[in-house]
Amino acid sequence: MATSEESNNSESCYSINSERKSHHSPEVKKNLASRLNRVEGQIRGIKGLIEKDTYCDDVITQIAAVQSALNGVSKILLEGHLKHCIVERVQEGDKEVVDELLTTIKRLMK
């Protein structure tokens, strides 16, 4: 899993002007882009299945595969967020970041 490269990246989650930015290494970005490209292809495939009047259960199975793939992307992003941004902000004394994290997790669990 590509998250091991991510843990080696020690960049801050903030830029000079305090704008929130991601912190992902080039390897993690490449992994995420590859996964999202596959999801994009799967979505086009689902659209084609619907246009061809494919049996509903088969389409639903493909939709579930896309949802699983997107969950994989979310897991990689969440892991990096926890290991870098959340830890950094807690170490700086920002306790509000925990509420932000809980909101993010709730959003992912819908």
In-domain check, residue 1: no
Domain coverage including residue 100: 24-108
AA letter at 12: S
AA letter at 20: R
In-domain check, residue 97: yes
CA 3 to chain centre: 11
pLDDT digits (tens, 9 = 90+) for 31-45: 999 999 999 999 999
Tell how many helices (H) and how many strands (E) occur in the chain.
5, 0
In-domain check, residue 30: yes
CA torsion, points 33, 71, 9, 92, in degrees to nearest 10?
130
| Residues, the chain | 110
pLDDT digits (tens, 9 = 90+) for 62-72: 999 999 999 99
The total number of structural domains in the chain stands at 1
CA 29 to chain centre: 11
Band (pLDDT 50/70/90 cuts) for residue 14 is: low
CA 14 to chain centre: 19
Higher pLDDT, 92 or 8: 92
* Mean pLDDT of the 12-41 span: 85
pLDDT digits (tens, 9 = 90+) for 46-103: 999 999 999 999 999 999 999 999 999 999 999 999 999 899 999 999 999 999 999 9
In-domain check, residue 10: no
In-domain check, residue 66: yes
